Structure 1
Amino acid sequence: MKKLLTLSLLLLSVTVFAKPPKNQYVRIRTSYGDCIIRLYNETPLHRDNFIKLAKKGFYNGTLFHRVIQNFMIQGGDPDSKKAIPELELGEGDVGYTVPAEFRDSLFHKRGVLAAARDENPKKASSGCQFYITEGKRFTDGKLDTLEKTRLKGRKIPAWQREWYKSVGGVPHLDQNYTVYGEVVSGLDMVDRIAAVKKDACDRPLTDVPMTVEVLSKKECGQLDKILSPPEG
């Protein structure tokens, strides 16, 4: 009896004092491969909303319904689950929006997860639809031109310029659409989907359904160890 009590106390102490993972990760599965996404803690409203929907199975069976090569792949429209071929999608929602969470440190580099939205003055995000950027690389000259035209004079920070020149992305979307995660594994899935044949509305001719899984605390902790630099 004493041994059982000691073991119970030991297990309880391990549970209480075990460090929770620093980040939450999700896995998106498709016929074109899988990817793992880290959700940003800097955007808690979007992070928690995505987790809530994913845990409910909301995204399972929805399509990547809009794909543009060298730009992005978009999904999460609930109307896409049973959509007939050639039907234009993108208007489905969950009846609410998520307030914009713009952060200077978060930008549209290649492989980020961001929220789609309609035109609204507060730039509030769709409650469910999202996109993952594929993007392209830019030169300094093209970034200069972008600042004068589409960015209306807003300067791209030097360190972000280096990302856009070396890795690529979609800089004209910065501070207009909320970025709330990034692909940490399986970015080639995005490239494959972005390259599929599509119709005049950018919908793939062959449906690309997805399933979204919220990874366990154990899996998230393991990924944190792999992806985070050692402390000290």
Structure 2
Amino acid sequence: MKRLFTLSFILFIGTATAFAKPPKNQYVRIKTTYGQCIIRLYNETPKHRDNFIKLTKDGVLNQTLFHRVIQNFMIQGGDPDSKNAKPGEALGEGGLKYTVPAEFNDSLFHKKGVLAAARDNNPEKASSSTQFYIVQGKRLTDSAMNVLEQGRLKGFKIPESQRAWYRTVGGTAQLDHGYTVYGEVVSGIEMVDRIAGVKTAKADRPVEDVRMTVELLKKSECKQMDKLLGI
């Protein structure tokens, strides 16, 4: 009887594990000497989400620099060439030998703290394989957004829900529908503000290197983050 009970218990545990619900979202942690942040990758942009997960698993982004920093705009990094770059060396052209197809979604916009893909000037607006930026941005007035709608946004109407974010929290609305947004900072936005405020030189490169390490949160940590965020 004892042996039968033990076997039944093992089978129960195995079944429970097999049917345990996975986390709804994948989160990543970016660490720098200016602090760290946790980013939720959007499921609405699966190609970019999966690419970032693979880059992180492969360690491609570790020890790359935030090589382009503009206060009240964004901090950009992920260029593999930056790992061993000399002081003052021009950066921003590096990457792997592929691009990621654009994934635009009207519900995803350039509010402060979002993760978005850098790209070169190409008609498909395909994203860089490795380079990304995190928005710091600034608060925008309704009149400024009206000008964007008639100009750079080519008539796209910014929904009131997004206007409210831009008015109160800030962002870079001028980049909407031009660059793929695929995640957002859910903890540690202070890191972005600190990096955005560093002293820069030619081509907006920080005078002192700002290196990063990027890691995936474990499934248990992702579940905890989902719970904390009420997702």
TM tier relative to shorter chain = over 0.9
Corresponding residue for 1:65? 67
Amino acid at match of 1:107: F
- The aligned residue for residue 206 of structure 2 is 204
Measure how far apart 1:4 and its partner are: 3.1
> Following the alignment from structure 1 to structure 2, what is the Cα–Cα distance between the partners of residues 224 and 85?
41
Does the CA contact (< 8 Å) of 2:64 and 2:211 recur in 1? yes
Residue 109 of structure 2: SS of its match in structure 1?
Answer: coil
Q: What SS does the corresponding residue of 1:65 show, helix, strand or coil? A: strand
Equivalent position amino acid for 1:34 in 2: Q
Residues 28-84 of structure 1: per-residue CA shift (max 9 Å, x gap):
000000000000000000000000010111111000000000000000000000000
What are the residue-to-residue correspondences of 1:77-116 with 2, within 5 Å? 77-116=79-118
Counterparts of 2:66 and 2:209 in 1: how far apart (Å)? Answer: 8
Distance 1:81 1:65 in 2: 10
- What amino acid does structure 2 have at the position aligned with 1:68? I
Match of 2:169 in 1: 167
In 1: Cα distance, 2:55 partner to 2:13 partner:
32
Quote the residue 2:185 is aligned against: 183
Give the RMSD, CA atoms, in angstroms.
Answer: 0.9
Q: Give the Cα separation in 2 of the matches to 1:128 and 1:30.
A: 18
1:158 is displaced (CA, Å) by 1.4
Deviations 1:16-37 (A, max 9, x none): 1211100000000000000000
Aligned-pair CA distance for 1:8: 1.5
Is 1:24 aligned with 2:29? no
Deviation at 1:2, TM superposition (A): 2.5
Q: Which moved more, 1:98-107 or 1:152-161?
A: 152-161
Deviation of the 1:167 alpha carbon: 0.8
TM-score under structure 2 length normalisation: 0.97
Q: Deviations over 1:96-143 (max 9, x none)?
A: 000000000000000000000001110000011000000000111111
Aligned counterparts of 2:32 and 2:6: Cα–Cα separation in 1:
46
Q: Matched residue pairs, number? A: 229
Alpha-carbon distance in 2 for matches of 1:209, 1:11: 43
Structure 1 partner of 2:194: 192
SS of match in other structure, 2:202: coil
Tell me, what secondary structure is at the counterpart of 2:67?
strand
